[in-house]
Amino acid sequence: MYSKILILRFPKTEVQKPLVCNLTRNYDLTFNILNAGILPRKEGYMVLELSGQRKNFKEGVQYLKSQGVDVQNASQEVKREDAICTQCGACTAVCPTGALSIRRPEMVVVFDQQKCSVCELCVPACPPRAMKVRPIRQAFF
């Protein structure tokens, strides 16, 4: 069994198509959606864990790319630079997984990296730019 977490970015022309469902139907892959959304200009994004036989995985990724989907390996992580964080809590409002939360009564922003889906929504939401995305390692499909 082969498994990776991928970040998919769908052009607005492809958002309404069942592309991810076709991965199961046509390539015998299973998926777990970790995060998804439609961005303001109507393009979509999805962070998912995709699993199956390596050959099917590669064919499935090629299928997505042939449909205009930008496929990236989530071999990156979100880190917080504690020295710049002002504890404002703006990042907690956009975090879909609860990786960023406010500990009360101290009113301190807590970052649980184990819950982070690397959706990157916290990066532009952070006024002092304390949230950063960095590569973990280079990975190839």
Confidence at residue 139, expressed as pLDDT on a 0 to 100 scale: 41
Give the residue carrying structure tokens 């500990």. Answer: 103
Confidence at residue 133, expressed as pLDDT on a 0 to 100 scale: 85
Sort residue 67 into left (φ over 0), alpha (ψ -120 to 50) or beta.
Answer: alpha
Fold for domain 2-73?
A: Alpha-Beta Plaits (3.30.70)
Confidence at residue 77, expressed as pLDDT on a 0 to 100 scale: 84
Q: Give me the average pLDDT of each 10-residue run along the chain (141 residues).
A: 86 88 95 84 86 94 95 85 96 93 96 86 95 67 40
Confidence at residue 73, expressed as pLDDT on a 0 to 100 scale: 82
In whole angstroms, what is the distance from residue 15 CA to residue 34 CA? 17
The pair of three-digit structure tokens given for residue 113, joined into one six-digit string: 């990296």
Adjacent-strand bridge partners of 132: 79
Residue 52 · residue 29 · CB < 8 Å: yes
Own/partner pairs, 29-38, CB within 8 angstroms, 24+ separation? 29/56, 29/57, 29/60, 34/5, 34/97, 34/117, 34/119, 35/96, 35/97, 35/117, 35/119, 37/96, 37/119
- Structural domain spans, the chain: 2-73, 79-132
Residue 77 CB neighbours (<10 A)? 13
CATH of 79-132, one of 3.40.50.200, 3.30.70.20, 1.10.260.40, 3.40.640.10: 3.30.70.20
Confidence at residue 137, expressed as pLDDT on a 0 to 100 scale: 52
